[in-house]
Structure 1
Amino acid sequence: MEKRILRLGMAGGGEGAFIGAIHRNAAGLDGDWRLVAGAFSGDEARNRRSGEALHIDPARTYANIDALLTGENALPADERIDALAIVTPNHLHAPMAIAALDAGFHVFCEKPMAMSVVEAEAIAAAAARSGRHFGLAFTYSGYPLVEEARARVERGDFGKIRLVQVEYSQGWLAQAIDTEGNKQAEWRTDPAKAGLGGCLGDIGTHAYHLAELVSGLRVTEVCADLSIHVAGRRLDDDINVLLRLEGGARGVLKASQVAAGDENGLKIRVHGEHGGLEWSQMEPNSLTLRWLDRPAETVRAAGPGLAPSTLARLRTPSGHPEGYIEAFANLYRAFATRIRGGDEWFPSVEDGLRTMAFVEGVIANDRSGEKWTALG
């Protein structure tokens, strides 16, 4: 398998953006990627400053996505980018991803995949006709002990799964900062840029993806209650969803961005016939296992007894914390492996389509008089 450094371009993520820097740090962690080009901002001065700060050749700091794709394709094959990272607000995901795929580039995109199922399907079609890979930044799926949890459920440690409970609790939008100049809050609460869901699309999709990934079960129906707690806000900031899953399992998904004082409280519990597990993003190096017939256990990152697929995601010895950047880097490393011809899992088109169906199903249920809404 070829092992050259892959060349990365970036759309968005310029000066003042949070997630762009996270992507760049993660992509560079294992030496698989080198950022060589970008269209970082629609503001000319900010775009230029961003390119300079990142030591990008001014000729490859492009004014917009069209210029980037045209300019890169004009370069020799051994110089142009291999993939484009899209780290923009949601409304730009589909047009940028489709254009990049059709131009012959792989795409690694922020979540949610798009503004709607229709847009997501258009991205999937572009990926299929181009033969290029499309990856999604469902970051928490990259944590080693999330993989350990998934592997233990898959091998049947807990018997048939009965219960799936996932919670994602933040408090950063507890006040109306979206009307007070906070750029990150502004676009996330604007339907024209965020899409149909606020909290639902931003962090509810993370929770949903984690629930299906760890349990190994698909959600078949939802019963939802969406709320707006901050006066004047146009998109939900708090959601509660009952889940029916394959095989008769039942679940609960709770996500909020108005839980004042909470930081980034993503937690999951899965229970089967014989026991269950619990994992928390804020204590990511511990996985708790609970049993009917023996004391609870705590599995530690890099400790004994881990699955081979878990060990492949670890970088440091036991007792040395690994966190958000490392989990993100696992996704970029897997994406690079696939581009080079290997076979390593990362969140892709199917995950994006599933999460968009969840968003639309939850909204449809909340707006209807139906108790349950089936997911497509």
Structure 2
Amino acid sequence: MQKIRLGMVGGGQGAFIGAVHRAAAGLDGQYDLVAGAFSRNPENNLATATQLCIAADRAYPSWEALIEGEKQLPADKRIQAVAVVTPNHLHVPVTKAALEAGFNVFCEKPLAINLDEAKSLESVLASSGALLGLAHTYIGYPMVWQARHLVATGKLGTIRKVYVEYPQGWLSNNLEASENKQASWRTDPAQSGGSGCMGDIGTHAFNMAEFVTGSKVTHLCADLHTHIPGRRLDDDGAAFLKFDNNASGVLIASQVAAGEENGLKIRVYGDKGGLEWFQMRPDSLIVRSLDAPMTILRGGQGQPGLCEEALKRCRIPVGHPEGYLEAMGNLYTLFAQAIRNGQQGAADGVPGLAEGIRGMAFIATMLASQNSEQKWTALSL
């Protein structure tokens, strides 16, 4: 079995998420990074390629050149997949061109800068014969799958309430004014889209709520804020949620929660019990019951009491913490398996186009609700 030949767009020196993707893709030895267009800056691009032991002739000056150049190579030499780790405004253009060239795509979230742009990929993907995966990394955690299993098998009973929150504090000051690249593009509507905080981390919270419960949000009531003077996009917000199973929920996302790190948390309550999972302690899942003491399930290879989907995402025995890189690594490994198995459209166990479109519908509905006098706004695709 040969490794999947991978190309990357974005992720040059000084970028954050590109290095994360490279580490995650390499975790299980499934990929060989052989080409890239890492930066618009020629020196950065070549330096990144050199650092990664990529031949200079496959360090392309642009993403367009990468796709065109790789198309010209023999089938057993060209890339088989592209990782798109750019700011949001390039996600759809790069993904569309790569799919049309027959390359599988693993893209950062959110999928697009607006809903229409995301939906434009439907016909492209359908006719490409390729795969599209989306980096909703938190879905790669074993105990998130265990939480989903508890809900799906009725351990909590009929679901009544969902609380999901994602507080960060890194944008509590006007960081974009200091020429911080991560802050600059995330607060720029031209590069980020119509929402800042909700597009960046609110989509993670939304995806987590729908994934764990197995239910879809049908309506929401939003409240968005921009706390930093001069900032052009929201940096804080919340929403009441209605689900298609008659459950209600609350979603909170903030990047101005001073002192917070990366506090994604979900709590789900049914008529028999509840659960709680916290991203900063990802190996633990708290389970509550009406007729038994609270229990804490722990992740780990071979751990009794865990479902099959959770166990197959554990690499090492209990007590050896697995975290963010392993979660993304799970997505990359499943994506590689899907490529080898000839799957098309979506890879089993990996968020894809459907989740990406729903994420963009969530952002659009949040913005519409914020600008509406109505209490509830329907989430429609």
TM-score grouping bracket, smaller chain normalisation: over 0.9
User: Separation in 2 of the partners of 1:278 and 1:169?
Assistant: 16
1:195 to 2:204 alignment: no
User: Separation in 2 of the partners of 1:234 and 1:335?
Assistant: 36
Amino acid at match of 1:367: N
User: Separation in 1 of the partners of 2:349 and 2:8?
Assistant: 22
Report the secondary structure of 2:43's partner residue: helix
**CA shift for structure 1 position 70:** 1.1
1:31 paired residue number: 29
2:334 paired residue number: 334
1:359 paired residue number: 363
Report the secondary structure of 1:175's partner residue: coil
1:175 paired residue number: 173
Report the secondary structure of 1:248's partner residue: coil
2:316 paired residue number: 316
**CA shift for structure 1 position 344:** 2.8
User: Separation in 1 of the partners of 2:245 and 2:59?
Assistant: 51
1:241 to 234, 239, 242: 239
For 1:48-197, what aligned pairs fall within 5 Å after superposition?
48-197=46-195
RMSD: 0.8
Greater shift, 220-229 or 335-344, is seen at 335-344
Amino acid at match of 1:117: L
1:350 to 2:354 alignment: yes
User: Separation in 2 of the partners of 1:157 and 1:65?
Assistant: 48
Q: Using the aligned pairs only, state the percent identity.
A: 55
1:369 to 2:367 alignment: no
1:306 to 2:306 alignment: yes
1:224 paired residue number: 222
Report the secondary structure of 1:145's partner residue: helix
**CA shift for structure 1 position 125:** 1.9
For structure 2, list consecutive stretches of 5 or more residues without a partner in the other structure: none
Q: Deviations over 1:66-104 (max 9, x none)?
A: 110111111110110000000000000010000000011
**CA shift for structure 1 position 340:** 1.0
2:45 paired residue number: 47
User: Separation in 2 of the partners of 1:74 and 1:247?
Assistant: 50
Q: Runs (4+) of structure 1 moved beyond 6 Å?
A: none
For structure 1, list consecutive stretches of 5 or more residues without a partner in the other structure: none
User: Separation in 1 of the partners of 2:32 and 2:151?
Assistant: 36
**CA shift for structure 1 position 300:** 0.3
**CA shift for structure 1 position 131:** 1.3
**CA shift for structure 1 position 188:** 0.1
User: Separation in 1 of the partners of 2:2 and 2:157?
Assistant: 43
Amino acid at match of 1:331: L
**CA shift for structure 1 position 4:** 2.1
**CA shift for structure 1 position 152:** 1.1
Amino acid at match of 2:239: V
Report the secondary structure of 2:221's partner residue: strand
When normalised by structure 1's length, the TM-score is: 0.98
Amino acid at match of 1:350: A
**CA shift for structure 1 position 278:** 0.1
Aligned residues: 374
Report the secondary structure of 2:29's partner residue: coil
User: Separation in 1 of the partners of 2:241 and 2:227?
Assistant: 23
Report the secondary structure of 1:101's partner residue: helix
Report the secondary structure of 1:125's partner residue: helix
Report the secondary structure of 1:221's partner residue: strand
**CA shift for structure 1 position 122:** 1.2
When normalised by structure 2's length, the TM-score is: 0.97
**CA shift for structure 1 position 124:** 2.2
